[in-house]
Amino acid sequence: MNGLIEALANGGTLVVAEGYMWEIERRGYLQLGNYLPEVVLDHPEVIKQLHEEFAHAGSDVIEAFTYYAHREMLKLRGREEDLEKLNRTALKMAREVADRHGKLMAGNVSNTPLYEPDDPKTHEVIYAMFKEQVQWAVEEGADFIIGETFGAYGEAEIALRAIKDWGKGLPAVITIAAYVPERTTDDVPLPEACKKLQDAGAAVVGLNCSRGPETLMPLIREVKKLCTVPIAALPVAYRTNAEEKTFFALRDPKSGKRVYPDNLDCVRCSREDARKFAEEARAAGVQYIGLCCGNAPNLTRELAEVYRKEPPASRFRSRMELSMVFGDKAKEYGAEMSTTAKWMTGDGL
């Protein structure tokens, strides 16, 4: 497979599975609140398996799980000595799975808690943290590097600069997190922030995380109007809406209580939601599509199908006509099967 630039040339598209942190948490190997990706070292097989599943579901990119694996996080949790090993292990696993399936492998740097717009010292510290992660990604054979989930334009710009300075020419994909106000936390309107990142040399710009499809897409259309490079759209897979624009704000429709982070399941996007998002994104000219938090292989398969990727997992798309109870064959069985169908649904009783 060619690199990112070639893949996106002439209107080409990439499906990119993100959202590892939440899916790994759901599987029981990561703690919300803590967010330390120690699973990479403690249970590497869990990460490898999820890479495999996303590849099977049609992701064109295997993203190394180095989200929050920056020096500050490891230091905070008393595992700073594991920093390099954790990053390299995550990158190696992603490379291995990507090679096996002919996919691209992406390194990753992400938001930190350190950024202060008016304090250049914090910018230097963050730059140094990104620099080392970028260097490891280059050495472990990444095809491109993602800088993601930045609330502040300034921190996104530092990530881009670190990738440009130390990425040995690897392209940068920079995505900003859209919160409730439609500007970065350092007050740049989101479409303009994307345009500035494009002008500073990002190969792909866009928005990821925080907002679900319904509240992200209007912003993506604005980004698309302003930018000429390929646009990335990777919402969370949760049903955000006009009143609750981010997944942090979502409430349980039953209890009215806030659901972030433990009870998000009750507002998770269905496969149909994912498909509808992919159709809208495709119509809007989004070339780099995926889902972030809340993503799972079954949702990625929907995106991949809409984007004509023919994922191996499509072989297992539902075919209810094969069902012994509800399908064509049911008619050839006795009355018991039709009674069972009625009893199961309550229809026609």
Residue ranges of the annotated binding site for Zn(2+) are: 209, 292-293
Would you tell me how many other CB atoms lie within 10 Å of the CB of residue 302? 25
Comparison of 105 and 291: residue with beta carbon closer to Zn ion? 291
Q: Which range of residues in 23-31, 91-99, 103-111, 285-293 is near Zn ion by CB under 5 A? A: 285-293
Helix (H, G, I), strand (E, B) or coil at 340: helix
Q: Which range of residues in 82-90, 113-121, 292-300, 332-340 is near Zn ion by CB under 5 A? A: 292-300
Helix (H, G, I), strand (E, B) or coil at 144: strand
Beta-bridged to residue 238, according to DSSP, are 268
What residues have CB less than 8 Å from 288, skipping those under 6 apart? 8, 13, 14, 16, 173, 204, 206, 230, 231, 232, 233, 234
Q: How far is the CB of 336 from Zn ion (least distance, A)?
A: 48
Q: Does 146 bind Zn ion (CB under 5 A)?
A: no
Strands 104-110 and 144-150: parallel
Q: How many residues bind Zn ion (CB under 5 A)?
A: 3
Q: How far is the CB of 235 from Zn ion (least distance, A)?
A: 9
Comparison of 29 and 260: residue with beta carbon closer to Zn ion? 260
Comparison of 21 and 203: residue with beta carbon closer to Zn ion? 21
155-214: contacts with Zn ion (CB under 5 A): 209
CA distance 109 to 114: 14
| H/E segment holding residue 94 | helix 83-101
Q: Does 292 bind Zn ion (CB under 5 A)?
A: yes
Q: How far is the CB of 236 from Zn ion (least distance, A)?
A: 5
The counts of H helices and E strands in the chain are 13, 8
Contact map string, positions 243 to 282, toward Zn ion, x by CB under 5 A: ----------------------------------------
Strands 61-63 and 172-176: unpaired
Comparison of 171 and 212: residue with beta carbon closer to Zn ion? 212
* One residue of 137, 293, 304, 337 binding Zn ion per CB under 5 A: 293
Q: What is the DSSP letter of 211?
A: B
> Residues interacting with Zn ion, by CB under 5 A?
209, 292-293
